[in-house]
């Protein structure tokens, strides 16, 4: 089995580490009661993680595809806000909050009226699938009362649900007429074929895969004014009137980076872009061009390869956005698209979800928790533990101590006030133990994920034997 040692010099100065032993390579089961020939120490006390607050938090994706019950979603998540805040969530990402062509069945991505938040009767309904405007504003107020920011999902390229009109630039009728009687009952940002590609001043088209005939032309001054420049623009109305705190930009491959840069220059706020591509360099280029954060699809696909497709943990060491842009990389294990029925190519299997969460909660980046994962009673307790670990001990330089197909061991170096942690993932059907060199000395360790009851002692040289249960993980740090 090929072995690797990896370090990420671009994340901070790293501690020196080496592989000391390969005691578990024979795949013999590890007996959790076996003391490995070392006398076990007396019972010890765990660190009070609240005293090691590193300032980090996590984001909740507060929806899934086709949420139920219809018309009650804003009320549903309002009731969960206090629980999420107590768990360590500081932002929620909600679905597009305005009326879509599918009316009461729309998830908002077939956007029709940028200013109908469930207060105009069109497309067969007044409320959106998620509720009324009053319920939306109440939900945002509840979130703010719990120190949680609300992130709006923004669709800036494709529109849907307009009326038919003759389009001379396509020489046919197109659904490009948006006014008070054609999919834009608010009467704000009325549109016609001149606002979409191609038109009388622009033939440019970034090649949108969605609704090509109603792909907004962001080079037109009128479109820019309505989207982010004017006082009643989408950006300023959402921030100053509705109360949104930040932005999730949908399908950014459908328009140019300057759009996001100018949007953020106009209104600021947290932002994350959906650039669905596993190429980390492409995502980094987008971050540099826009100033926005981005979902780390490179990390998502490395986890999918490591845990599912190839069952090889060395994939966890491959190039990911968080390695170079930890403050801009938004990491995740699932979202509303990856969890759709029948999605087999972009999906982390349920039995591997917690290992994936252990990875993103212990590494740099801003982790996102998917609603259905958190609401899964088999996951929630452990996800809460992982959030607590992320918000406390997951700090400092990254040092991958050991990686092979079955095992992955990484240490966060901490700092003078924080001991950091060690993550040990094991894909083997048997428990594993490995002797490593750490940055600690003469300490008793415990697994803060509580997957192991083992209490190893670090010697004066920083050497210690740690373990990970079969097909699971452990997160080690010092004790009181």
Question: Which residues fall within 8 angstroms of residue 221, CB to CB, at 6 or more apart?
Answer: none
Q: Note the Cα 268 to chain centre separation in Å.
A: 20
Buried b (16+ CB within 10 A) or exposed e, 218-238: bbbeebbebbbbbeebbbbbb
Question: Which residues fall within 8 angstroms of residue 222, CB to CB, at 6 or more apart?
Answer: 195
* Biggest alpha carbon–alpha carbon distance for the chain: 84
Residue 250 annotated among the catalytic residues of the structure: yes
Q: Note the Cα 286 to chain centre separation in Å.
A: 17
Give me the catalytic one of 165, 180, 194, 274: 274
397: which 2 tokens? 């330089």
Evaluate whether 212 touches 166 at the Cβ level (below 8 Å). Answer: no
CA distance 247 to 218: 18
**SS3 for 16?**
coil
For 103: left if phi > 0, alpha if psi spans -120 to 50, otherwise beta; the answer is left
53 is in an annotated binding site: no
Residue 274 annotated among the catalytic residues of the structure: yes
Asked if the peptide bond before residue 69 counts as cis, ω within 30 degrees of 0, the response is yes
CA distance 183 to 106: 13
48: which 2 tokens? 């009070």
Residue 70 burial class via C-beta count within 10 angstroms: exposed 0-12, middle 13-18, buried 19 and up: middle
Evaluate whether 281 touches 324 at the Cβ level (below 8 Å). Answer: no
147 is in an annotated binding site: no
Give which of 24, 4, 168, 147 is closest to 84, Cα–Cα. Answer: 147
327 is in an annotated binding site: no
Give which of 327, 315, 398 is closest to 352, Cα–Cα. Answer: 315
CA distance 58 to 315: 24
Can you list the positions of beta strands (E) in 124-231?
Answer: 149-154, 163-167, 172-177
User: Which residue carries 């024979």 as its tokens?
Assistant: 26
369: which 2 tokens? 């928790």
Evaluate whether 299 touches 331 at the Cβ level (below 8 Å). Answer: yes
Give me the catalytic one of 250, 312, 339, 447: 250
Side-chain-facing half-sphere of 416: CA atoms under 13 Å: 0
Own/partner long-range contacts of 102-108 (Cβ < 8 Å, ≥24 apart)? 104/70, 104/71, 104/128, 104/129, 105/70, 105/129, 107/65, 107/66, 107/67, 107/336, 108/153, 108/155
205 is in an annotated binding site: yes
Quote the DSSP letter at residue 117: S
Binding-site positions for Ca(2+) read 157, 205, 217, 406
Q: Which residues are catalytic?
A: 250, 274
Binding-site positions read 157, 205, 217, 406
């Amino acid at each position: 089995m090929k072995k690797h040692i990896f370090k990420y010099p671009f994340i901070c100065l790293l501690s020196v580490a080496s592989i000391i032993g390969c005691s578990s390579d024979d795949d013999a089961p590890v007996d959790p009661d076996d003391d490995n020939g070392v006398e076990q120490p007396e019972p010890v006390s765990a660190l009070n993680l609240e005293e090691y607050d590193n300032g980090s938090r996590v984001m909740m994706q507060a929806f899934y595809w086709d949420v139920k019950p219809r018309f009650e979603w804003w009320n549903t998540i309002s009731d969960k806000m206090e629980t999420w805040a107590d768990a360590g969530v500081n932002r929620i990402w909600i679905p597009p909050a305005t009326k879509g062509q599918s009316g009461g069945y729309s998830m908002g991505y077939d956007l029709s009226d940028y200013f109908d938040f469930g207060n105009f009767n069109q497309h067969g309904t007044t409320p959106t699938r998620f509720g009324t405007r009053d319920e939306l504003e109440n939900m945002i107020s509840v979130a703010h009362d719990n120190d949680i920011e609300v992130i709006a999902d923004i669709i800036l390229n494709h529109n849907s649900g307009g009326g038919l009109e003759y389009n001379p630039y396509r020489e046919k009728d197109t659904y490009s007429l948006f006014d008070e009687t054609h999919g834009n009952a608010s009467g704000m940002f009325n549109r016609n074929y001149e606002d979409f590609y191609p038109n009388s001043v622009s033939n440019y088209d970034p090649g949108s895969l969605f609704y090509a005939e109603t792909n907004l032309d962001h080079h037109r001054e009128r479109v820019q004014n309505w989207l982010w420049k004017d006082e009643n623009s989408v950006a300023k109305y959402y921030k100053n009137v509705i109360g949104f705190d930040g932005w999730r930009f949908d399908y950014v491959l459908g328009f140019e980076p300057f759009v996001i840069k100018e949007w953020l220059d106009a209104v600021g706020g947290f932002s994350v872009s959906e650039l669905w591509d596993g190429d980390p360099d492409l995502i980094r280029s987008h971050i540099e061009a826009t100033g926005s954060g981005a979902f780390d699809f490179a990390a998502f696909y490395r986890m999918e390869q490591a845990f599912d497709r190839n069952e090889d943990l060395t994939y966890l060491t491959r190039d990911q956005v968080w390695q170079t842009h930890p403050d801009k990389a938004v990491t995740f294990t699932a979202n509303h698209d990856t969890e759709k029925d029948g999605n087999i190519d972009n999906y982390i299997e349920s039995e591997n979800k917690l290992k994936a969460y252990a990875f993103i909660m212990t590494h740099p980046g801003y982790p996102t928790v998917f609603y259905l994962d958190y609401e899964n009673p088999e996951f929630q307790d452990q996800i809460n533990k992982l959030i607590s670990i992320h918000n406390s001990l997951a700090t400092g330089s990254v040092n991958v101590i050991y990686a092979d197909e079955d095992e992955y061991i990484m240490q966060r170096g901490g700092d003078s006030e924080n001991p950091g942690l060690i993550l040990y993932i094991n894909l083997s059907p048997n428990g594993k133990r490995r002797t490593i060199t750490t940055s600690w000395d003469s300490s008793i360790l415990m697994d803060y994920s509580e997957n192991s009851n083992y209490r190893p002692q670090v010697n004066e040289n920083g050497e210690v034997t740690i373990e990970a249960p079969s097909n699971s993980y452990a997160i080690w740090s010092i004790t009181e």
